[in-house]
Amino acid sequence: MLVIRPIQDTDYDALYQCAEASGHGFTSLPVNQELLSKRIEASISSFSKHTEHPQNESYLMVAVDTDTNQVVGTTGIEASIGWEVPSYSYHISKVVHSSNKLNVRNEVQVLTLGNNYTGCSEICTLFLLPEYRAGLNGRLMSKCRFLMMAQFPERFSQTVIAEMRGVSDENGNSPFWQWLQQHFFSIDFTLADYLTGTGNKGFIADLMPKLPIYVNLLSPEAQAVIGLVHQYTAPALKLLEKEGFACRGYVDIFDAGPTVECDRNHIKSIQQSFVAQVEVREHSSSHTYLISNTQLSDFRALVAKVAYDSEQNTAFIHPDVAKNLLVKSGDSIRLLLN
């Protein structure tokens, strides 16, 4: 069984291993000891902090295999991005060049640099070791964040976004970045991606073109990957699309991967989740639920069978499930039917 819980100081080695395994383009998990340590510290502080509105909180969680007690993945939420470290993106828009006299009309796409998602909440840092990507583990890693948002809405912004990893090859080369590098930069994609992950974004403002970029002037290879996701990111994108997320024309400035967004109250899992009272006992139900407790600092989430009595609004769960959720009979849990 996988159990999601807030990250702890003792999880550093496991987080570092996840960072190494995540590969190129995974900006939120750079292989950097200082940054990863700061992310753990920031998360511990955020989970213990009292707040009534989103600020700069960073919630990082890990997935633990209860059979081995091994950390096998991470998932996280940034409460409000772009305030301390700028959040850049390109917006795809259309420009029309026309002449009635010559009977000529050309429509072209342009990329405009901006900070339009400043203040939004961001779901991020979803990574599972390859051997754990089967079954419902990916769903749990993604949806547990929505259970937390449903339980503590005051901690998160109205708009929730997710930056999806764009196309790059096995060596970390991005066709989109190669064009930018050739014309505006003198560093490769992996270094630019690493610097961004460590918060060193000053080079973006210094070197990135300030005026809109005409898409038809990019190389064919760069044009072809705008708005596309990395092959390993496709399943995560499908999950988010089923939740109601959609791309509104914003893409990453390095690999042109899409940014998807959704109003927090319109996220399917938030709308369909509900709170019930717990009764701990053996049962024979075959209905599978995503479950979380209703605590913050001791947040727990997992997937398990539940017998739910809608008339009494009571959820019957197995003692082992209750133990992993840190709940007892009479407590409340949040449920989402799988």
Contact yes or no for 166/174 (Cβ under 8 A): yes
Residues 6+ apart with CB under 8 A from 179: 218, 219, 221, 222
- Residue 140 class from Cβ within 10 Å (0-12 exposed, 13-18 middle, 19+ buried)? buried
> Residue 87 is encoded by which pair of tokens?
């959040």
183 given a catalytic annotation: no
Contact yes or no for 229/241 (Cβ under 8 A): no
Calculate the alpha carbon distances from 8 to 64, 74, 182, 294, 295 in Å. Answer: 12, 12, 42, 19, 16
Out of 24, 50, 91, 230, the active site residue is 230
Q: How far apart are CA 215 and CA 226, in angstroms?
A: 9
In the chain, alpha helices (H)? 12-22, 33-48, 137-151, 175-183, 189-197, 202-207, 220-224, 234-243, 268-272, 319-325
Bridge partners (DSSP) of residue 92 are 111
Amino acid letter at 142? S
Q: How far apart are CA 336 and CA 110, in angstroms?
A: 41
In 188-265, alpha helices (H)? 189-197, 202-207, 220-224, 234-243
Strand (E) positions, the chain? 2-6, 58-65, 70-78, 89-99, 104-114, 121-128, 159-163, 213-214, 246-251, 258-263, 274-280, 288-293, 301-305, 307-309, 314-317, 332-337
Closest residue by Cα to residue 253 from 207, 217, 216? 207
Instruction: Give the residue numbers marked as catalytic.
Output: 230
